[in-house]
Amino acid sequence: MKKVIIFLFSILILITNISFADKEIQPYSKETCLEIYNAIGTFLILADINWKEKKEEKALFYSSASANYATIYRTVCKED
């Protein structure tokens, strides 16, 4: 019975993922994109400050946040 429930749950997740796969990503507003762009710079500055203070974990956190924001910016803001 447990295997059947797991199988049905897996099928449900697969169907849900397939139904959202064809959704077009709508670009963010210019104001939102500007805020994201500024946040990228802020996180980079914070990463640099923490790296220089030998706070590697915080530096990695801010660096990762910056990279994530950059990915979002490139996906929904950057025009080709």
Tokens 């295997």, located at residue: 3
pTM: 0.64
Q: State pLDDT tens for residues 8-25.
A: 566 666 666 555 555 666
d(CA 51, CA 47): 6
User: What are the residue boundaries of the structural domains of the chain, listed by start?
Assistant: 25-80
CB 62 within 8 A of CB 44: yes
Q: State pLDDT tens for residues 28-73.
A: 889 999 999 999 999 999 999 999 999 999 999 999 999 999 999 9
CB 46 within 8 A of CB 62: yes
Number of CB atoms found within 10 A of residue 47's CB: 21
